[in-house]
């Protein structure tokens, strides 16, 4: 992969080389990925077969017969004196720097502590932690001993956490006493206590292991949260462990982690990622997409509770031996210059964030980034939602001073790593386009009705339709925890022979991709994937709500905002207090990050005669597109549309 190492200049030759290598990777995927797996990962035992299985049964296997450990690849093989992590806490002067040697020893100690408490290979350990180095190290410690981590974003409520602990049948939860964000302290251990009181299978939980942010071995003071019998203080336990823990030789297809994500219906899905393919894909995409060079300080400011944090805060940068910058706070704390200040102070070379943050910071004006020395930057990354050309330009010109590459990386929890992205110095950039597929990714645009690959462009010369992939890639998820049928139903049955992303795309005459958005009932709010069904069930959990319908509305900064319509149970009346309570219900059922911008109380909902809610009409109403409501004659009660238009206009 020496291609990506040249930056700048931009050169036609490099682009041609990309096209050639891309073609080879599609024509002969086994050779391409077999070579990549040998180049990027150290195997304890070489694999016998590159790829087996396929989409039809969802039985894809990569690098079978191979044995490896991802924590070994991420830690042991690098120079112990190099910096592995730079962490900046909520307060800008709260900084920790850890070398590869220090991280390895601590990961070993944590691994030994988990083993001591009975964690075995294959057990699922739920991690509910703030963005502190111990979070990354706990993930790596699980991987080291063959336990499967399930990180739950610390913004989720006790209810949502409990649901995920139960679904995974976790015996162990690892948490911290508190998290800090924007000057506020969040009692995470208290939330875990709360989650466990709500669990049906409470008996499954054996231990809650607690990192203490302000732990002091000298002090005999008891911790500032309620300790239960099952609780274990992590710091003193870890302190007495041996600093070496042999890495378990994992099969390539042994589970590495699960991560819950929202879908269009029902409970969140626990997507399962396995070891070998994920390691190869995380390593390679990080190196190639971000043009990693020795000595780089790579900053992805996503939270480890999401896939971006898994692949591009923890695994990708560490597999490459670079320095990963980890960030606990928000882009506007203590002021709107926080990101630029960090880039200047730590000489960050790659900076990776979401369009919502760019749009937010853009609003504060060019003067703020201009005050800082950002000359260390080479690559600026965008992820999570489409980036509008205006924000792209601001990122490129004002932050990158027209000297950096902006990589617009399109991918999903399910794909493990980037699947469509430009490559620095190689791919021409078009603002708003994630450009061309990564090596080995066979993208197709399908007709939504026939499911066939589009062959004729539309009147603008573009191919617009369903974004799908034609063949397996190593980073793909392998199943939904405990429900393989659901995995097949969601991803492989809608368009037989293809992996269905759930997104709509427009591909231009040059083959460049512009992602339009989700086709399913999934919203994208500030880069977070939220199912309309989840918010609806959080509202219905309140006794006042008989039925609810939720839609996303375009929002200048957040991408989309949540708009909810609620029909009340007999005996309840609309009031500001009730609206407040409904917001509280969403906060306690899912988490504060899902707070609806709009809650409309309605006497009924636009439904078909067969009882299906027509969200399409609600979407048009909240967007003010009342001239294009379409056919409303199939509604059981068409007059409700007028009532809703009036109500929304008044709000
Ligand atoms: C990595 C991540 C996945 C959904 C995906 C799509 C949207 C992500 C994007 C993008 C346009 C990009 N998405 N990256 N849309 N351009 N560069 O975000 O994973 O949380 O699973 O969300 O996000 O709609 O289907 P996840």
Chain segment 17-59, per-residue pLDDT in tens? 999 999 999 999 999 999 999 999 999 999 999 999 999 999 9
Structural domain includes residue 259: no
Q: What is the mean pLDDT of residues 58-65?
A: 98
Between 10 and 622, the higher pLDDT residue? 622
Q: Is the pLDDT of residue 5 over 60?
A: no
Q: Is the pLDDT of residue 523 over 90?
A: yes
Q: Could you tell me if 367 and 398 are in contact, meaning their C-beta atoms sit under 8 angstroms apart? A: no
What per-residue confidence (pLDDT) applies to 10? Answer: 60
285, 306, 385, 433, best to mutate for ligand 1 pocket (most atoms within 8 Å of CB)? 385
Residues near ligand 1 (Cβ within 6 A) = 261, 306-308, 382-386, 408-413, 434, 501-503, 515, 518, 524, 529
* Nearby residues of 454 by Cβ (< 8 Å), 6 or more positions away: 445, 446, 447, 463, 464, 465
* Nearby residues of 308 by Cβ (< 8 Å), 6 or more positions away: 300, 302, 352, 383, 384
Closest CA to 124 of 204, 227, 49: 204
| Residue identifier of the C-alpha nearest atom 20 of ligand 1 | 529
Judged by average pLDDT, the poorest of 78-82, 96-100, 265-269, 470-474 is: 265-269
Question: Which atom belonging to ligand 1 lies closest to the Cα atom of 502?
Answer: 25
What per-residue confidence (pLDDT) applies to 222? Answer: 72
Judged by average pLDDT, the poorest of 1-15, 224-238, 283-297 is: 1-15
Q: What is the mean pLDDT of residues 158-180?
A: 95
Judged by average pLDDT, the poorest of 61-70, 204-213, 410-419 is: 204-213
CA of 411 relative to ligand 1 center, distance in Å: 5
What per-residue confidence (pLDDT) applies to 214? Answer: 81
With H, G, I as helix, E, B as strand and everything else as coil, classify residue 322: coil
- Report the distance separating Cα 497 and Cα 472, nearest Å: 11
- pLDDT bracket for residue 201 (50, 70, 90): low
CA of 308 relative to ligand 1 center, distance in Å: 10
Q: Is the pLDDT of residue 434 over 60?
A: yes
- Domain residues for the domain of 610 are 526-650
- Report the distance separating Cα 212 and Cα 195, nearest Å: 19
Question: Which atom belonging to ligand 1 lies closest to the Cα atom of 420?
Answer: 17
What per-residue confidence (pLDDT) applies to 6? Answer: 33
Q: What is the mean pLDDT of residues 620-633?
A: 88
CA of 517 relative to ligand 1 center, distance in Å: 9
Structural domain includes residue 330: no
Q: What is the mean pLDDT of residues 481-496?
A: 97
448, 451, 455, 456 alpha-carbon torsion, rounded to 10°: -30
- pLDDT bracket for residue 298 (50, 70, 90): very high
Structural domain includes residue 599: yes
Report the alpha-carbon angle 373-376-382, nearest 5.
Answer: 100
CA of 378 relative to ligand 1 center, distance in Å: 23
Closest CA to 594 of 366, 335, 262, 353: 262
Q: Is the pLDDT of residue 105 over 80?
A: yes
Residue with tokens 């070998």: 276
| Residue identifier of the C-alpha nearest atom 16 of ligand 1 | 386
Based on the structure, what is the number of domains in the chain? 1
Specify the DSSP class assigned to residue 420: B
* pTM for this entry: 0.95
What per-residue confidence (pLDDT) applies to 202? Answer: 55
CATH number at residue 580: 3.30.300.30
Average pLDDT value for the chain: 94
Query: In whole angstroms, how far apart are CA 202 and each of 191, 194, 221, 258?
Result: 15, 11, 29, 20
Closest CA to 259 of 207, 208, 314: 314
Question: Which atom belonging to ligand 1 lies closest to the Cα atom of 409?
Answer: 17
Q: Is the pLDDT of residue 200 over 80?
A: no
| Residue identifier of the C-alpha nearest atom 7 of ligand 1 | 385
What per-residue confidence (pLDDT) applies to 203? Answer: 63
Structural domain includes residue 465: no
Structural domain includes residue 446: no
Structural domain includes residue 583: yes
- Report the distance separating Cα 66 and Cα 415, nearest Å: 21
Q: How many CB atoms lie within 10 A of CB 397?
A: 14
- pLDDT bracket for residue 610 (50, 70, 90): confident
Q: What is the mean pLDDT of residues 417-442?
A: 96
Structural domain includes residue 577: yes
Q: How many CB atoms lie within 10 A of CB 589?
A: 22
306, 410, 506, best to mutate for ligand 1 pocket (most atoms within 8 Å of CB)? 410
Q: Is the pLDDT of residue 199 over 50?
A: yes
Q: What is the mean pLDDT of residues 134-153?
A: 98
Structural domain includes residue 576: yes
């Amino acid at each position: 992969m020496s291609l990506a190492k040249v930056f700048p200049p931009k050169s036609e030759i490099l682009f041609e080389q990309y096209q050639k290598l891309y073609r080879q990777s599609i024509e002969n995927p086994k050779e391409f990925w077999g070579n990549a797996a040998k180049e990027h990962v150290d195997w304890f035992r070489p694999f016998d077969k590159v790829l087996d299985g396929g989409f039809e049964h969802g039985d894809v296997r990569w690098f079978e017969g191979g044995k490896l450990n991802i924590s070994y690849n991420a830690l042991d093989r690098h120079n112990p004196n190099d910096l592995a992590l730079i962490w900046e806490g909520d307060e800008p002067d709260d900084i920790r720097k850890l070398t590869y040697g220090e991280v390895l020893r601590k990961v070993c100690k944590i691994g030994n502590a988990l083993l001591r408490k009975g964690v075995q290979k294959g057990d699922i350990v739920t991690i509910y932690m703030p963005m502190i180095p111990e979070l990354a190290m706990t993930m790596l410690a699980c991987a080291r001993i063959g336990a499967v981590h399930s990180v739950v974003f610390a913004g989720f409520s006790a209810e949502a956490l409990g649901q995920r602990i139960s679904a995974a049948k976790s015996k162990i939860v690892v948490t911290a006493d508190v998290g800090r964000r924007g000057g506020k302290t969040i009692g995470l251990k208290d939330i875990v206590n709360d989650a466990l009181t709500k669990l049906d299978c409470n008996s499954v939980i054996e231990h809650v292991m607690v990192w203490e942010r302000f732990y002091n071995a000298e002090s005999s003071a008891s911790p500032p949260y309620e300790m239960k019998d099952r609780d274990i203080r992590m710091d003193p336990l870890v302190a007495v462990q041996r600093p070496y823990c042999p890495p378990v030789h994992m099969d390539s297809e042994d589970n590495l982690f699960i991560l819950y994500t929202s879908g269009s219906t029902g409970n969140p899905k626990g997507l399962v990622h396995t070891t070998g393919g994920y390691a190869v894909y995380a390593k390679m995409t990080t190196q190639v997409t971000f043009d990693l060079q020795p000595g780089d300080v790579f900053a992805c400011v996503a939270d480890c509770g999401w896939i971006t944090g898994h692949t591009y805060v923890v695994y990708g940068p560490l597999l490459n031996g670079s320095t990963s910058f980890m960030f606990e706070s928000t882009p506007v704390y203590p002021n709107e210059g926080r990101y630029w200040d960090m880039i200047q102070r730590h000489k960050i070379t790659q900076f990776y964030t979401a369009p919502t943050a760019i749009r937010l910071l853009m609003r504060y004006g060019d003067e703020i980034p201009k005050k800082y020395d950002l000359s260390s930057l080479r690559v600026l990354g965008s992820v999570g939602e489409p980036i509008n050309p205006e924000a792209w330009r601001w990122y490129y010109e004002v932050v990158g001073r027209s000297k950096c590459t902006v990589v617009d990386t399109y991918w999903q929890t399910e794909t493990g790593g980037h699947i469509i992205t430009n490559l620095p110095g190689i791919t021409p950039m078009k603002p708003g386009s994630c450009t061309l597929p990564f090596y080995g990714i066979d993208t197709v645009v399908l007709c939504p009705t026939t499911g066939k690959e589009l062959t004729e462009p539309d009147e603008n010369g573009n191919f617009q339709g369903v974004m799908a992939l034609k063949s397996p890639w190593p980073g793909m998820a392998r199943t939904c925890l405990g429900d393989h049928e659901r995995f097949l139903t969601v991803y492989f049955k809608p368009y037989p022979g293809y992996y269905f992303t759930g997104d709509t795309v427009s591909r231009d005459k040059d083959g460049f991709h512009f992602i339009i958005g989700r086709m399913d009932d999934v919203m994208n709010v500030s880069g977070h994937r939220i199912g309309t069904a989840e918010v609806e069930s959080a509202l219905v959990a309140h006794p006042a709500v008989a039925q609810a319908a939720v839609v996303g509305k375009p929002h200048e900064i957040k991408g989309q905002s949540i708009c909810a319509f609620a029909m009340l149970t007999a005996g309840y009346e609309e009031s500001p207090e009730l609206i407040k309570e409904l917001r509280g219900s969403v906060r306690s059922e899912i988490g504060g990050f899902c707070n609806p911008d709009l809650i409309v109380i309605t006497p009924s909902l636009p439904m078909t005669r067969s009882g299906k809610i027509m969200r399409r009409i609600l979407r048009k109403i909240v967007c003010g597109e009342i001239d294009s409501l379409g056919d409303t004659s199939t509604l059981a009660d068409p007059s409700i549309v007028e009532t809703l238009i009036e109500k929304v206009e008044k709000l």
